[in-house]
Amino acid sequence: MLGQASLVPGSQVMRAQLLLYRAEGNFSSSSGYGEIRNILFIEPGDVAARWLLQDNNHVISESPDLMASEDDPKAKRTLATAVLVKPTSNDPEVSAGRLLLFDPPGRKVMEIANGVRKLHVASYTTGEITLLYERDRRLVLVQVDPTSFTKRKEQEVDVPQLK
C-alpha cells in the first residue's frame, strides 16, 4: 500500500512510502504494524515517479531527514536523508543491512556502509553530515560532505569494556 505523499521540506519534491502491513496476535486482535519497503519520489514536471530501491524485498528500518540549521523555522529544508535498508528475510532488529544517504529528489544515492546493524546518530552541523552506526559490534563514525556526498572521514570508535 502506498502511504500518504508529503513534500520534502524546502523543495517541490514529494515522497511517499510503500508500506506492507503485518497483523500481530490472534484473529480477534486488530493490532499490527507497517514495514516501510520502499520510497517513491514524485517531482513536478516529471512524467514518471522514481523508486529509491529496485524492489520491495527490503525493510527500511530507519530514515531520518537531515535538516539545514537555519534561524528561520519557515526556511527549514532537507539536505539529505539517511536510510538503513535490511533484507526482509531476517529479524530487522538483529540483521545487518546497507546504510544509504540520498538527496531530496532521490537522484544522488550513496552507500555509506554495508553490514550495518543500527544507525545511532544522523546529524548535520555547519557544512558536515555526521553518522554514527554499529557494524560487527563496533561503532563507526563517518563524516560526509553534504554537497558531494563524499566521505571526509571514517573511523571506528573504541568503546572501553566496563569492569
pLDDT at 29 over 70: no
pLDDT at 12 over 90: yes
Residue 59's DSSP bridge partners are 86
Per-residue confidence (pLDDT) for residue 81, from 0 to 100: 95
Name the least confident of 15-29, 38-52, 66-80, 134-148.
Answer: 15-29
Other C-beta atoms closer than 10 Å to the C-beta of 29 total 9
pLDDT tens, position by position, 106-127: 999 999 999 999 999 999 988 8
Contact 31, 51 (CB under 8 A): no
**Percentage of the chain surpassing pLDDT 70?**
87
Per-residue confidence (pLDDT) for residue 90, from 0 to 100: 64
Instruction: Give me the DSSP letters along 93-141.
Output: TT--EEEEEE-TTS-SEEEEEEEEEEEEEEEEETTEEEEEEEETTEEEE
**Percentage of the chain surpassing pLDDT 90?**
62
Per-residue confidence (pLDDT) for residue 69, from 0 to 100: 67
Per-residue confidence (pLDDT) for residue 126, from 0 to 100: 82
Global pTM value: 0.85
Top-ranked range on mean pLDDT: pick from 24-28, 89-93, 148-152: 148-152
Domain boundaries, the chain: 6-157
pLDDT at 73 over 70: no
Confidence category of residue 50, pLDDT binned at 50, 70, 90: very high
